Each structure stands twice: as C-alpha cells, then as structure tokens.
C-alpha cells in the first residue's frame, strides 16, 4: 500500500499544534519544551508502526494527550505521559530512558500505563490483569487512571477499523470496566461517550434508531427549552444572579437503557433532556444562590417532591455536587432541572481530573505533586475533595486485601462503581456514606475490621434488625459485638461493599487455614497409630479414596468432621504403607471435573428433538453442549458458545446479562453458534412449599430460585400464620429434570419442610 508521507508529515504537525493549543495549563517555556521532547521521542519510537486504519501510529498518542489536556484539563506531566504511554510496551524505549529524560514521576505513571507482559494464569483475562495493575498505581499517582481512560476513549472513537469480533470484545470490556470507572470518578462526559460508542457496536440498530430520533426532535426540543426558560431568565436577571442556561439531551445509551429496563418506547422516556442552570458565584455564596434559584424555578413550575436530589448538602462519594429537581411544564411534560455553580459544574464535567487541579493552592497539577502527603491531604480537605480521596482509600484497602485472582478482584472492585448511596449515622452522630443496599454488617466493617468481625447484631434507630436488612438514608446504626464471634460463610450474602466482602473472605481463609493445620495433625496421629509413614504416596491414596483435590482440602474435611478417621475401614496397613482393599478410586481429572452442584443444576442439556440442533464454531458443526440458565436460550435466539473450564460448551444468548462480562473477560473462549431451527421448549409450573417461619427464609428461598438456579419467577406469594410459613411461586422451566433439580435445591434450604408441584388451576 502506498502512503503519501509528505501529507502525513503535515497532518502530524497540524495535530501536534492542535495539542499545544489545547494545553492551556502548560504555558511556561520549560513545560512546552517537555511536551516537545515527549512528542519527538514518541514520533521517533513509533515511526515504523501503523494503526489498523493504515494511519501513522503517532496519531493515537497525540489524540490521547489532547483528550488529557482539552477534555480533562490536566497539565504538562499528564500530557508528556500520554504521549509516551505506549512507547515502553511497543518500542525500544525503556522505563530507565523515560526517567533519565523526564523524571521519576513520569517513569511511575508510564510504568502504570504499560500493559503487563508475559504469561497470565490459565483462565485469566490479560485485560483484567492490566486493569488491576492500573488500580494498584492509585497509591502512587491517580493520573494513571485518567490517562488510561483517555487511551480507551480514543480507541473507542477509532473502533470502526477493527474486526467485528474485536469490536464486540473491546465494546464489552468498555461497558464492563471503563464506563463504570469513569462514572465513579465523576468523568460524566467521558462516561457517556464510552457508553454510547459501546452501544454503537453492541446494538447498532438500536443505536442508529435512537440517534435518528434525537436528531429529528432537536428543533422541537430547542423551541420547548426557549419557551420554558423565559420566566426563569427574567427572574434571575431581576435577582442580579449571573448564570448560563443550557438544554442537554440524555445520552443515547441512557435512553436505550431506560427503554430496556422500564420496557417503554422512545416516546415514553419522559426525561429525554435536562435543563442546566450554571451560576457564576463565589464559593461562600454557592449554597444560598442555588436554593434561591430553585425557589425561582418552583415559583413558575410545580416540582415533583419525589424527584428532588440534594447533592449540595451531601455530595456524592466522587465529589459530585448539584441540585436536581423535576418540574411539570405547561405542556404536561416533566422536565429535569439541574442547578449548580461554575465550580461544581467543572467538578461534575471533569470529576477526578478537576479535583486533581483544585486540591492544591494555585490549582497546578505540578505544584500539587511537590506537596508532602500530609500537605496534600490538608489541601484536599480544605477544597472539599475528601469524598473522592476517601473512596480511593477504600480501593487501596481492597487492593491490600491480597485477592489473588484478577477477575475476582475486578468483580469486587466493580461492586462499588455504579452504586447509588445511602447516608447513615453512628450513635455519636458521625455521617457514614455507603452504597445503596448496604447492610448493618457493611456498616460494621466500615467502622473497623474488628467491629465487623465481632458483630453479632445491630440496632437501627434503636430497634434490633437482622444483619441482612438494607439500610436507608437517615438511619442511626449501633453495632452489638461479642469477642466470641467470628465471620461466617453466609455473611458474604449479607454485604454489598467490596471492602467488607474482602475482609470476610480473608477471615474465612485464615480460619480454614487454621482448621487445615489441625486436620493435618490429626491425620499424622492416625498414621502413627497405624504404624505407617505420612508419606506423599499414602496421602495421595487418601486423596483418591475420598475424592478430594488437595491435601489442604483433605485436612480441612478431617478437622471439620466431614471425614471421621475413626470410622474409616477397608484398608490394610503394613510395612509403612496404606493399602485400600478395593484400591483407591481415581480422582476425576481436571478436564472431566464435575461442576459444583449449584452450577450443574443451573444448566439443562439441550434435547436433540426434531429440528432443535445447534451449529457451533466456524465449521458449523453439531457439538455436545449445554444451555446456560442465566439467560435460558431457546431456538430462535441470537446465541454464542462459551468454552467452560471443564472443556464443555455453554450456550448463552447475546443479550444474556453475563454476555458483556464473558465477551470482555474471556473473548478467546467464545465460539459462533446458530440454531438450525426455531422450535422452543419452555413451561410455566406452580410450586408450593411450607416450613417454619424464620428471619431470612423468604430471602433464602427466592435466592435459590432466582440466583442459584437462575429460574425466572412469573408470580410469587408468601404468608406466615402462627409461625408456619407457606409460599407459592410460578416459575419457567425447560423440562421435568429442570423442575426436579429446583425442588431438590429448595428442599435443602434450612427451615423448608415440603416442596411440591401444584395442580394447575383451570
């Protein structure tokens, strides 16, 4: 392919000049020189590399640096590192070269941005490891995350040049990890663009339709906004308040998401746009001017009392401050009105990036970097940015929890990304912010690890409540502790915060380790009693006999009494060796490992009925497979195959709630799949069950049905009479095997006495 090198050279210079214009915070001669040096280094390093589109690779680092400068407003260090972010990974440049030319801070940031190389653990997504490494640098420099998001944004903007399967993987990954991260860090514009671009490739038809409708209704919206704001403008002018008013449509993704979750049409999404009022006022008068403006708006338009959101008195954990209200317009439409100061708007648009600038005197990214940790903390608190730093502190806590598996870590981290918040109080009146759905147990672990570990109960507003009861804003929580208490396995079901979950798991692992040591000692004593050696061969024979995978698990079972050595028979002991009469039974190989009961019960095999077959892989073959009950695919659905750890193939719908995660984390294990016909097999069944009424029983039953077994519930009712619990539920199953597996699982729930299939009425 021929390239016009002279034209490309001119284009590179044009883009570089555009970057310099965007770098408004880098005006000093030394700063401009650093940017020029970084540009020259990147240009030379990438000179022989081209992007998938055929364009020179240098376009990408320039674009990332421009996003960092223009859309995030960061300074020289960030721009330099953005220009260099791919050099160490893809070219001859080393971290030592970066430090020699620019300094240790630049080396740290570029190192955080450099993808991990080498061999990853089996079943682990390389991108998950990259993401974890990026977060690990939080303790060093938060600019790593900001540049990484800018890098992902440019990749999404140029995604049309990638193969369709790569587009699906990258779009899924973006929705799964990067958009929620941008949301949590308050980078709302970037978050919305990442979501919209992901939707463009994941659901192209829906994206095109919603975009077309937004363009079509643009003129109508503009006329409506102009009419709506006339009386507000007049009153604000009379009050002497300086302001800007603008109308902003909701993003394509947020409209699509609301259409999906609320099951409504485009016309029924009433808040397609919001009106934003930005006040030019000093920090001392922000609050009073915003409430004065709210009073003016509600003088003309009736507010919806259930839709008032005061994030001025209680800012979000990511530092977001604004007052939102929804009012009724004269035409009978609900309109969201957002009121905030210019400072709050900058924080809202640029989130952590603005916080990074505001948190040091003079607002300079570079001067802030020179402050000591204590000075930096004081500056942050003085500027009101301690909310973000408190959240970053929680993330560091999770990182220090030592979660070995990168994917488990990402799941834990992701728990807190999109959550709304509740505001609760300690008995002394201290305010604690927790994610929506948090329980007293989350609260206890937020206070202190020891308080959480020893928690035996909680009082909410002076009333005893279960540890699993969700808290609501305004609750006052008192934790009751006991030195004899220790974390339990079922606590993992009661918490929603990643830090609490991490601490419980750590405590359980530590307890299991202690029990395994006790079990190992018991086994050694048993061997000594029989007069045989505690050799690897004898232990291996025990593993095969009891069908366990590791000595650790064998020791744990012995300690907990699941294997009673005094009752073991069928062996002979002589010459220091243990021989089993029937011979040790072989362990199942890793490839043939049986799925856990909950997983095995949650999938049902496809019956090879007439016309109900799947063609899998590029060769469109009929291979053994099973259907994933998380989405219950039926003939006619758009599906894909997923190769499991055991080597089997699970079939998922493309719209499966887990599809984004699977495509993002394990794209290399995804296979094509098409139905050969469109026959379907789904049945609704009613079941009844009884038991002894107890706290958490209803939760346990519904959790088995919807979470463990992944069965859809069409109707459900529960009733308690004199301590006896009765319930009815209508579920969708594929066949009698599926139904029997569900019944067996329900019968195993503690407190449930009977479960039976009910005769269909009518």
Residue 705 has which token pair? Answer: 């049905």
Q: Which DSSP symbol is given to 476? A: B
Q: Calculate the CA 656 to chain-centre distance.
A: 16
Q: Which of 463, 439, 443 is nearest to 451 (CA)?
A: 443
Give SS3 for 44: helix
| Angle, in degrees to the nearest 10, between helices 551-559 and 498-530 | 80
Q: Which DSSP symbol is given to 272? A: S
Q: Which of 89, 244, 280, 537 is catalytic?
A: 89
* CA distance to 20, 55, 734, per residue, from 109 (Å): 21, 27, 53
d(C-alpha 571, C-alpha 587), whole Å? 18
Burial class of residue 483 in the structure, from the number of CB atoms within 10 Å of its CB (0-12 exposed, 13-18 middle, 19+ buried): exposed
Q: Which of 179, 89, 163 is nearest to 126 (CA)?
A: 89
CATH topology of domain 205-350: Beta Polymerase; domain 2 (3.30.460)
Q: Report the DSSP pairing between strands 463-465 and 477-481.
A: unpaired
- Catalytic site includes residue 70: no
Extract the residue ranges of the chain whose pLDDT is less than 50: 116-124, 139, 359-385, 404, 583-612, 677-680, 722, 762
d(C-alpha 708, C-alpha 714), whole Å? 17
Q: Which of 44, 55, 90, 386 is catalytic?
A: 90
Residues in contact with 573: Cβ distance below 8 Å, sequence separation at least 6, in sequence order: 530, 531, 532, 579
d(C-alpha 273, C-alpha 58), whole Å? 38
d(C-alpha 278, C-alpha 452), whole Å? 43
> What is the chain's percent helix, strand, coil content, to nearest 5?
50, 15, 35
Residue found under tokens 């600038």 = 357
**The predicted structure's pLDDT at residue 116:** 38
Q: Which of 393, 508, 521 is nearest to 446 (CA)?
A: 393
Contact assessment for residue 527 and residue 446, using Cβ atoms and an 8 Å cutoff = no
Q: Calculate the CA 700 to chain-centre distance.
A: 25
Backbone torsions φ then ψ of 221, nearest 5 degrees: -65, -45
The H-or-E segment that residue 127 falls in is helix 126-136
How many CB atoms are located within 10 Å of the residue 142 CB? 19
Assign residue 531 a region: left if phi > 0, alpha if psi is -120 to 50, beta otherwise?
left
* CA distance to 25, 75, 371, per residue, from 28 (Å): 9, 11, 20
Question: 5-202 falls under which CATH superfamily?
Answer: Hypothetical protein af1432 (1.10.3210.10)
d(C-alpha 107, C-alpha 121), whole Å? 27
Burial letters 115-139, b for 16+ CB under 10 A, else e: eeeeeeeeebbbbbbbbbbbbbbbe
Contact assessment for residue 355 and residue 319, using Cβ atoms and an 8 Å cutoff = yes
Q: Which DSSP symbol is given to 635? A: T
Beta bridge partners of 425: 431, 476
Strand order in the sheet with 724-733: 712-721, 724-733, 683-692, 752-757
Q: Which of 499, 495, 466, 494 is nearest to 480 (CA)?
A: 466
d(C-alpha 488, C-alpha 504), whole Å? 8
Kindly indicate whether the domain formed by 683-757 is annotated with CATH number 3.30.70.260: yes
**The predicted structure's pLDDT at residue 443:** 92
- Catalytic site includes residue 581: no
In order, the DSSP letters of 712-731 are: EEEEEEEEEETTEEEEEEEE
Long-range contacts of 647-655 (CB under 8 A, 24+ apart): 647/591, 647/592, 648/624, 649/616, 649/623, 649/624, 649/625, 650/603, 650/625, 650/626, 651/606, 651/614, 651/625, 651/626, 651/627, 652/628, 655/631
Query: What is the reported pTM?
Result: 0.59
**The predicted structure's pLDDT at residue 618:** 62
The H-or-E segment that residue 328 falls in is strand 323-328
Residue 42 has which token pair? Answer: 């990147």
Residues in contact with 469: Cβ distance below 8 Å, sequence separation at least 6, in sequence order: 439, 440, 458, 460
Backbone torsions φ then ψ of 402, nearest 5 degrees: 75, 30
The H-or-E segment that residue 411 falls in is helix 406-414
Residues in contact with 203: Cβ distance below 8 Å, sequence separation at least 6, in sequence order: 256
Residue 474 has which token pair? Answer: 């305004």
Q: Which of 675, 663, 637, 652 is nearest to 201 (CA)?
A: 663
Where are any strands of DSSP class E within 442-551?
Answer: 455-460, 463-465, 477-481
Contact assessment for residue 486 and residue 511, using Cβ atoms and an 8 Å cutoff = yes
The Cα diameter of the chain in Å comes to 102
Q: Between vectors from CA 105 to CA 101 and to CA 107, what angle results, nearest 5°?
A: 55
Contact assessment for residue 31 and residue 19, using Cβ atoms and an 8 Å cutoff = no
Beta bridge partners of 302: 328
**The predicted structure's pLDDT at residue 323:** 93
Q: Domain ranges for the chain, please list them.
A: 5-202, 205-350, 505-580, 597-675, 683-757
Give SS3 for 253: helix
Assign residue 60 a region: left if phi > 0, alpha if psi is -120 to 50, beta otherwise?
alpha
d(C-alpha 106, C-alpha 113), whole Å? 11
Write out pLDDT tens, residues 679-705. Answer: 445 657 788 887 766 666 777 787 777
Q: Calculate the CA 341 to chain-centre distance.
A: 30
Residue 420 has which token pair? Answer: 């709304």
Contact assessment for residue 701 and residue 752, using Cβ atoms and an 8 Å cutoff = yes
Residue 118 has which token pair? Answer: 């080498």
d(C-alpha 168, C-alpha 674), whole Å? 17
**The predicted structure's pLDDT at residue 154:** 92
Burial letters 212-242, b for 16+ CB under 10 A, else e: eebeebeeeeeebbeebbeebeebbeeeebe
Are both 5-202 and 205-350 of the same fold?
Answer: no
Beta bridge partners of 718: 727
Beta bridge partners of 642: 650, 670
């Amino acid at each position: 392919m021929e390239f016009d090198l002279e034209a490309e050279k001119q284009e590179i210079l044009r883009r570089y000049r555009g970057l310099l214009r965007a770098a408004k915070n880098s005006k000093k001669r030394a700063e401009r020189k650093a940017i020029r040096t970084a540009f020259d280094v990147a240009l030379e390093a990438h000179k022989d590399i081209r992007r998938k589109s055929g364009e020179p690779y240098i376009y990408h680092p320039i674009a990332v640096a421009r996003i960092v400068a223009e859309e995030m407003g960061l300074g020289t260090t960030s721009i330099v590192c953005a220009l260099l972010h791919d050099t160490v990974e893809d070219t001859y440049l080393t971290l030592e070269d970066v430090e020699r030319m620019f300094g240790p801070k630049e080396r740290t940031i570029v190192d955080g941005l450099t993808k991990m190389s080498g061999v990853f653990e089996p079943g682990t997504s390389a991108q998950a490891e990259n993401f974890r490494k990026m977060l690990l640098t939080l303790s060093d420099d938060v600019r790593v995350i900001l540049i990484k998001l800018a890098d992902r944004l440019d990749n999404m903007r140029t995604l049309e040049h990638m193969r369709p399967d790569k587009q699906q993987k990258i779009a899924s990954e973006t929705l799964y990890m990067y958009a929620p991260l941008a949301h949590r860090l308050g980078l709302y514009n970037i978050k919305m663009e990442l979501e919209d671009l992901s939707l463009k490739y994941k659901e192209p038809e829906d994206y095109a339709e919603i975009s077309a409708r937004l363009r079509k209704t643009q003129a109508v919206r503009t006329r409506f906004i102009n009419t709506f704001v006339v009386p507000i403008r007049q009153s604000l002018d009379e009050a002497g308040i300086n302001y800007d008013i603008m109308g902003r449509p909701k993003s394509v993704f947020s409209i699509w998401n609301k259409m999906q979750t609320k099951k409504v049409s485009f016309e029924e999404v009433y808040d397609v746009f919001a009106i934003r009022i930005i006040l030019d006022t000093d920090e001392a008068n922000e609050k009073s001017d915003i409430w004065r403006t709210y009073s003016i708006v509600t003088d003309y338009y009736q507010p919806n009392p259930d839709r008032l959101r005061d994030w001025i008195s209680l800012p979000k954990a990511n530092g977001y401050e604004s007052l939102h209200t929804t009012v009724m317009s004269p035409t009978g439409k609900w309109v969201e009105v957002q009121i905030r100061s210019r400072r709050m708007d900058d924080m809202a648009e640029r989130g952590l990036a603005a916080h990074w600038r505001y948190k040091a005197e003079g607002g300079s990214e570079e001067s802030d970097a020179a402050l000591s940790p204590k000075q930096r903390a004081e500056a942050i608190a003085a500027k009101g940015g301690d909310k973000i730093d408190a959240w970053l502190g929680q993330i560091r806590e999770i990182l220090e929890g030592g979660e070995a598996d990168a994917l488990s870590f990402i799941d834990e981290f992701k728990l807190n990304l999109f959550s709304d918040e509740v505001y609760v109080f300690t008995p002394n009146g201290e305010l604690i912010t927790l994610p929506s759905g948090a329980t007293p147990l989350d609260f206890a672990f937020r206070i202190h690890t020891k308080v959480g570990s020893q928690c035996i109960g909680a009082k909410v507003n002076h009333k005893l409540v279960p540890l699993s009861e969700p808290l609501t804003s305004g609750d006052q929580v008192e934790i009751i502790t006991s030195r004899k208490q220790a974390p339990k396995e079922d606590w993992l079901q009661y918490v929603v915060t990643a830090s609490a979950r991490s601490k419980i798991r750590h405590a359980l692992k530590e307890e299991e380790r202690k029990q395994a040591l006790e079990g190992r000692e018991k086994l050694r004593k048993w061997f000594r009693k029989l007069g045989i050696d505690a050799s690897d061969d004898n232990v291996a024979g025990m593993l095969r006999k009891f069908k366990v995978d590791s000595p650790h698990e064998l020791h744990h079972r012995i300690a907990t009494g699941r294997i009673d050595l005094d009752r073991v028979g069928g062996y002979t002991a002589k010459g220091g060796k243990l021989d089993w009469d029937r011979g040790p039974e072989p362990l199942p190989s890793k490839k043939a490992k049986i799925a856990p009961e909950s997983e095995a019960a949650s999938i049902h095999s496809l019956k090879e009925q007439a016309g109900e077959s799947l063609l899998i892989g590029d060769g469109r073959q009929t291979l053994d497979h099973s259907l994933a009950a998380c989405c219950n695919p039926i003939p006619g659905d758009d599906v894909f195959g997923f190769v499991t750890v055991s080597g089997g193939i699970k079939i998922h719908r493309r719209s499966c709630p887990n599809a984004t995660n699977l495509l993002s984390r394990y794209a290399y294990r995804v296979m094509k799949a098409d139905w050969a016909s469109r026959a379907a097999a789904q049945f609704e069944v009613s079941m009844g069950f009884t038991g002894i009424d107890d706290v958490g029983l209803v939760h346990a039953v519904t959790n088995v049905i919807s979470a463990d077994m992944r069965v859809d519930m069409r109707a459900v009712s529960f009733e308690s009479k004199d301590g006896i619990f009765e319930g009815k539920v209508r579920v969708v199953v594929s066949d009698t095997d599926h139904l029997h597996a569900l019944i067996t699982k329900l019968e195993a729930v503690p407190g449930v006495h009977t479960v039976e299939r009910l005769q269909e009425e009518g």
